[in-house]
Amino acid sequence: MSYTLEGNTGTWEIVVGLEVHAQVISKSKLFSGASTVFGGEPNSQVSLIDAGFPGMLPVINQTCVEQAVRTGLGLKARINLESRFDRKNYFYADLPTGYQISQFEHPIIGTGIVEIELADGSTREIGITRLHLEQDAGKLMHDQDPKRSFVDLNRAGVALMEIVSEPDIRSPEEAGAYLRKLRQILRYLETCDGNMEEGSMRADVNVSVRKAGEPMRTRCEIKNVNSIRFVMQAIEIEATRQIEIWEAGGEVDQETRLFDPHKGETRALRSKADAHDYRYFPDPDLLPLVIEQSWVDQIKQTLPELPDEKRARFQKDYGITAYDASVLVAEQSTADFYEKVAKGRDGKSAVAWVTGDFFAALNRTGKSIEESPVSADSLGAMLDLIADGTINGKIAKEVLEEMFETGEAPIEIIDRKGLRQVTDTGAIEAAADDIIGKNADKVEQYKGGKDKLFGFFVGQVMKATAGKANPAIVNDILRKKLDG
């Protein structure tokens, strides 16, 4: 179902394209040896190149180029064996050189595709226009002094991949799905950590509106939005603003805007610059970047299994639903954990425990899956104890809680607390006879057609055995005694 906004003059369609800036995972910057570690003291990770000292020559970081190629392969995009760096000229306090080294006409990565999944189960393909490498700028700080602004150049020169989508996105939901999927791919590839809170992934959001069948109208760009939720909010708010202008007989100005999540509005920052305003020209200090197809092929051999392929394989190999598979592959660490648990075991039972009680315990203890005191091997061992009848599902929940508290192996907890399941049919029969004898009235009601009372008898026998009786044996014995 298409997403539209209703105005006074009819129905409007939203048109969105996203420019995502993803910080490359590398130890040093794009053209200098300065560190990229987040959280250093201001201006403690700045080389002479980053600071714009005259006579300093940039040297390309091969790791950053490799990370861009890996990302391009992960996006099923065209890898350009020859690309070029250009100077993008503008003057701002966080850019010491007065220009940014970027790629304009000849990016390292060409067209690609990201497939997104929507809440109704449908999928859509969002086109990738290009991916290019460029330097990040520094960070201006306006809250350090009442009269002055300060600049921290630690981030200046850090490698960014700017990933530009086609204007294929038609709703806030699609924008959110696209960003989540892109971040997921980058994390699987280990080319960007996708941490929007630290600014290592942020989005410029291009929004326009039009009536059905119309050509594109004027767009506005909302700069540096640093959360998926804010991107979705900004699209709807900006689209509504533009519709109001068009319907009042006005013209939307092509401009750069900022999103204020506290006021729920976008506001003008500056008129939107066109490419010629930046006076791009090839950087005279850098030769064209030429890479070999054989090197690209080597990188391709090292790619991990990506989310779409892993999700399809989980459904096929472990017989789980598309929804469960999507939950598991959302993070690579979760997918890896599940696969260790499910290997050689019942996949459906494994997903029920991992996404159910195990996830609930992680949430309750405030731990990530990497910090879990219960390893995949330990959880798998507990499932084996359920499968071989040592414990039942109810006891297993108690065991898992204890595993989170103590870190002990499941069998140690079971033996220490005397939790082994009762499979002695004589003991279970005795408990069943006792319950039936004490509840003659309910036996009559059951035999008179109240089938739901069977659950009552099962519950009473389980209670009498402290939850340790084997449920299958309990059911079998009660059926024979009540229905015989």
The pLDDT value recorded for residue 436 is 87
The pLDDT value recorded for residue 433 is 85
User: 475 with 458: CB under 8 angstroms?
Assistant: yes
pTM: 0.86
The pLDDT value recorded for residue 3 is 87
The secondary structure of 286-328 as a DSSP string is S--EE--HHHHHHHHHTPPPPHHHHHHHHHHHH---HHHHHHH
User: Last residue of a domain, which of 299, 324, 358?
Assistant: 299
How far, in Å, CA of 286 to CA of 108, rounded?
14
CB atoms within 10 A of CB 285: 13
For residues 139 and 57, membership in a common domain is answered with yes
Exposure b/e, 443-481, CB count within 10 A at least 16 = b: beebeeeeeebeeebbebbbebbebbbbeebbeebbeee
Q: Which CATH number does the domain housing residue 446 bear?
A: 1.10.10.410
Phi and psi angles of residue 210, each rounded to the nearest 5 degrees, phi first: -160, 160
For residues 309 and 400, membership in a common domain is answered with yes
For residues 231 and 283, membership in a common domain is answered with yes
Exposure b/e, 354-388, CB count within 10 A at least 16 = b: bbebbeebbeeeeeebeebebebebbbebbebbee
The pLDDT value recorded for residue 273 is 61
User: 5 with 12: CB under 8 angstroms?
Assistant: yes
User: Last residue of a domain, which of 362, 394, 417?
Assistant: 417
User: 120 with 1: CB under 8 angstroms?
Assistant: yes
For residues 413 and 439, membership in a common domain is answered with no
For residues 309 and 160, membership in a common domain is answered with no
For residues 192 and 253, membership in a common domain is answered with yes
**Domain span holding position 294:** 5-299
For residues 227 and 354, membership in a common domain is answered with no
Distance of CA 368 to the CA centre of its chain: 14
Exposure b/e, 33-48, CB count within 10 A at least 16 = b: ebbbeeeeeeeebbbe
How many domains does the chain contain in total? Answer: 3
For residues 80 and 161, membership in a common domain is answered with yes
For residues 412 and 477, membership in a common domain is answered with no
The pLDDT value recorded for residue 325 is 96
For residues 311 and 228, membership in a common domain is answered with no
Mean pLDDT, contiguous 10-residue spans, the chain (484 residues):
84 97 97 94 95 94 98 98 96 89 97 94 94 95 90 95 97 96 97 90 97 93 94 97 96 94 91 74 96 98 96 96 94 96 96 96 94 96 92 91 94 90 78 86 82 87 82 83 78
How far, in Å, CA of 116 to CA of 289, rounded?
32
For residues 163 and 261, membership in a common domain is answered with yes
User: Last residue of a domain, which of 417, 452, 473?
Assistant: 417
For residues 147 and 254, membership in a common domain is answered with yes
Beta bridge partners of 116: 124
Locate tokens 């079998």: which residue?
476
